[in-house]
Structure 1
């Protein structure tokens, strides 16, 4: 009889323990969501932080997107130095092609995403500079550093084609990214600058666009390619995010910020 009572008591304890264990399992905190790292040209920061990232995260609350924005050449160097990233968008094909050739990109995902335009801006207060052909007349001209900034590379190409490049060498200020050039002109420390049309649109209350790069001054359009890193920590989420950026919904948002869909 004692053995039977002990056995029943033991079974009761086991059932109670199992019940408590099940309750603990149900009350456990949910697993932390995935963090996707986007590495993109500085000229794209506003459209991502203000619109596209919040929209995507609303659709996919389990995914957090962390953005890193800077000159495309600097971002290329950071990726080559070991920066863990999932999606890369550069402001020129040069950086994307270099990373692809070195095996950093999943080549099957690399494709043209957007198109931008190179424009000449002056402070809202006004300037005597009216076009690319007299850019060298500016007292304090500014462009992105051609060594690392795609907008600066396009600027050098256009100015060289128009015989303006040599004349500005003693006075030109070189920005570490296109946003810095924009800010210099907006503040008045530079009286003329070359930036993307999308950047100028963000500060239309402080700068005036006086001209676009003349036809023939650039060999190719200003293309922004997109691609997923070959060793992306969140490869599947990265591919889904890249696909989202190519949808009609995303393209309408890009258009509102001055970008055009790449042809």
Structure 2
């Protein structure tokens, strides 16, 4: 009798287990097949001014391409250029100016056929939110009321290069140089202006719009500086060229383009 009762209980257990598996509940089958992890991880080195928008686009990309995970490296375009020259593992490079991309192309460090101009931007003069200077024009930066102007370091930060072009074309560069407070990236410029440690700063329009603690005074005439273009390319040493091409192509698709537009970026030539 004991043996018969044991066999009965074993039979009931097998029936219950089969029923649970058949109904799609939590089962041994589901536990033994966890979600597939991404098979490729890309390193994307991008200008710091792109951080907010690329982080907003990233979930859209990884939802469409679950086999590819993206790791971002944000810094000034000049710093990223130097990292790539020194052999830092990088799959995709996005610069805030053509100069850095041109240098890498001349050294055969990018795949030329993958290079495309992705975005455009504008240059803005900003002041702290509570500023009492009542500035309205770039030329007023030469006034004695303005003591400190935060700009990007021109040797490595495109923002600084564009700013110097504007000042030079307005014939005020020499008079402004003693007032410059240099920053290594856009975050440093905004921080100086937001805190009041600088009376004014030169940033991209997209960054001015993203900060609640600065006031956008005016936008530079585009004739005063070289076109602000963001080129993108796959790095020659990338071991993941196919996945890198998939990522760059996604940034030109409608879903990504709409997000760029929402953050204030334009299309080159527009």
Partner of 2:65: 60
Closer/same/farther in 2, CA of residues 99 and 210 from structure 1, 3 Å limit: same
Q: How does 1:171-250 map to 2 (within 5 A)?
A: 171-203=179-211, 205-218=212-225, 220-250=226-256
Q: Does the 8 Å CA contact 2:38/2:69 hold for their aligned counterparts?
A: no
Q: How does 1:113-124 map to 2 (within 5 A)?
A: 113-124=118-129
1:215 CA displacement: 4.5
Q: Secondary structure at the match of 2:224?
A: coil
Deviations 1:11-39 (CA, angstroms, capped at 9, x unpaired): xxxxxxxxxxxx9xx87995662110111
Q: Does 1:83 align with 2:88?
A: yes
Given the two structures, how large is their TM-score scaled by the length of structure 1? 0.86
Deviations 1:90-142 (CA, angstroms, capped at 9, x unpaired): 00000001101100100001011000001100011124232111122321111
1:182 CA displacement: 1.1
Q: How does 1:28-43 map to 2 (within 5 A)?
A: 33-43=39-49
Deviant stretches of 4+, over 6 Å: 26-29
Q: Provide the rounded CA distance (Å) in 1 between the counterparts of 2:100 and 2:124.
A: 21
Given the two structures, how large is their TM-score scaled by the length of structure 2? 0.83
Q: Provide the rounded CA distance (Å) in 1 between the counterparts of 2:74 and 2:34.
A: 36
Partner of 1:102: 107
* Stretches of structure 1 lacking an aligned partner (at least 5 in a row): 1-22
Closer/same/farther in 2, CA of residues 29 and 162 from structure 1, 3 Å limit: closer
Partner of 1:256: 262
1:216 CA displacement: 2.4
